[in-house]
């Protein structure tokens, strides 16, 4: 009996080690995909934002409305299509979305100084890393934050659309402050959720599910980073 218990404990230990190794590989893929998306976004934003002719053709015409709202439409479309896409298809869609996001925010290259953009990116990177690490390592269950934070995002979207027409600096300031707080919370929440979802499905080891789950996790963290960066830029960026 003691020998049987020893064998069983050994098997459990091996299984736990396999899950831990799989989790590390999964998180590395999530962060790697997210980083690739940020690189695509940065390259597109720089290429378009430093080209005066392209900036004028996009943001001085009605085309700007399509460019501004296209990423939002793509996010909803991605959520609706994810179950019908392969892992490779989901990854391709993610990078297409990242490119469109770069086009959508390329105006910052004209509005803000290059130094303030770089400084804000660095600050966002440090804050994101700290928040994501806390979400990954904390023993506290923060799953209850989800519904509150999602409602906050919906409120931000509505308020931002309204302020496009109002043009209120005070409302923009309030949106930016609240936006930073909401996406800081989402960074920790999404990181913990990615980890928890993996651990709940680790026994199945469905490679297709793991591939798509990594893309969805990367998309969520990418959105947290981009939005936190944009709101911080609105608050602290130096304008041209």
For the segment 181-229, what is each residue's pLDDT rounded down to a tens digit? 999 999 999 999 999 988 887 666 666 677 788 999 999 999 999 999 9
Task: List, as own/partner pairs, every contact residues 67-73 make where C-beta atoms lie below 8 angstroms and the sequence separation is at least 24, other chains included.
Answer: 67/100, 67/103, 67/104, 68/104, 70/100, 70/103, 70/104, 71/97, 71/100, 71/101, 71/104, 72/157
Closest CA to 68 of 149, 182, 167, 160: 160
The Cα 35–Cα 29 span in angstroms is: 10
- The number of folded domains in the chain is 1
At 64 the pLDDT is 86
At 180 the pLDDT is 95
Angle at 43 between CA 58 and CA 214, to 5 degrees: 110
In this prediction, residue 7 has a pLDDT band, given cuts at 50, 70 and 90, of: very low
Model pLDDT for residues 38-66, shown as the tens digit of each residue = 999 999 999 999 998 999 888 888 888 88
The Cα 6–Cα 131 span in angstroms is: 40
The answer to whether the beta carbons of residues 106 and 55 sit under 8 Å apart is yes
Model pLDDT for residues 64-95, shown as the tens digit of each residue = 888 888 998 898 888 888 778 888 888 999 99
**Cα-to-chain-centroid distance, residue 7:** 43
Higher-pLDDT residue of 168, 3? 168
Is the backbone of residue 238 left (phi > 0), alpha (psi -120 to 50) or beta? Answer: beta
The Cα 206–Cα 218 span in angstroms is: 18
Angle at 124 between CA 143 and CA 238, to 5 degrees: 140
Question: Can you spell out the DSSP letters for 35-81?
Answer: HHHHHHHHHHHHHHHT-HHHHHHHHTSTHHHHHHHHHHHHHHHHHHH
Mean pLDDT (the chain, rounded):
87
Q: Residue range 157-166: average pLDDT?
A: 88
In this prediction, residue 20 has a pLDDT band, given cuts at 50, 70 and 90, of: confident
Task: List, as own/partner pairs, every contact residues 29-33 make where C-beta atoms lie below 8 angstroms and the sequence separation is at least 24, other chains included.
Answer: 29/214, 29/218, 30/194, 30/214, 30/217, 30/218, 30/221, 31/218, 31/221, 32/218, 33/91, 33/94, 33/214, 33/215, 33/218
Share of the chain above pLDDT 70, in %: 89
The model's pTM is 0.88
- The whole domain housing 40 covers 2-236
The Cα 96–Cα 74 span in angstroms is: 9
Q: Residue range 12-34: average pLDDT?
A: 78
């Amino acid at each position: 009996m003691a020998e049987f218990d020893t064998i069983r404990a050994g098997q459990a230990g091996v299984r736990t080690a396999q899950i831990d190794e799989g989790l590390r590989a999964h998180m590395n893929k999530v962060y790697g995909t997210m980083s690739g998306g940020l690189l695509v976004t940065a390259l597109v934003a720089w290429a378009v934002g430093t080209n005066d002719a392209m900036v004028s053709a996009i943001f001085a015409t009605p085309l700007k409305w399509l460019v501004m709202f296209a990423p939002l439409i793509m996010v909803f479309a991605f959520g609706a299509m994810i179950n019908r896409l392969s892992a490779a298809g989901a990854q391709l869609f993610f990078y297409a979305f990242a490119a469109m996001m770069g086009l959508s925010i390329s105006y910052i290259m004209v509005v803000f100084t290059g130094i303030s953009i770089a400084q804000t990116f660095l600050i966002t990177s440090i804050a994101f890393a700290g928040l994501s690490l806390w979400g990954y390592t904390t023993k506290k269950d923060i799953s209850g934050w989800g519904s509150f934070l999602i409602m906050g995002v919906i409120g931000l979207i509505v308020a931002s659309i309204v302020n496009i027409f109002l043009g209120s600096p005070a409302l923009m300031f309030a949106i930016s402050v609240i936006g930073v707080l909401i996406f800081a919370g989402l960074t920790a929440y999404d990181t913990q959720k990615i980890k928890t979802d993996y651990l709940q499905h680790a026994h199945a080891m469905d490679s297709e599910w793991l591939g798509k789950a990594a893309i969805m996790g990367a998309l969520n963290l990418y959105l947290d980073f981009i939005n936190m960066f944009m709101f911080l830029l609105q608050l602290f960026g130096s304008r041209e």
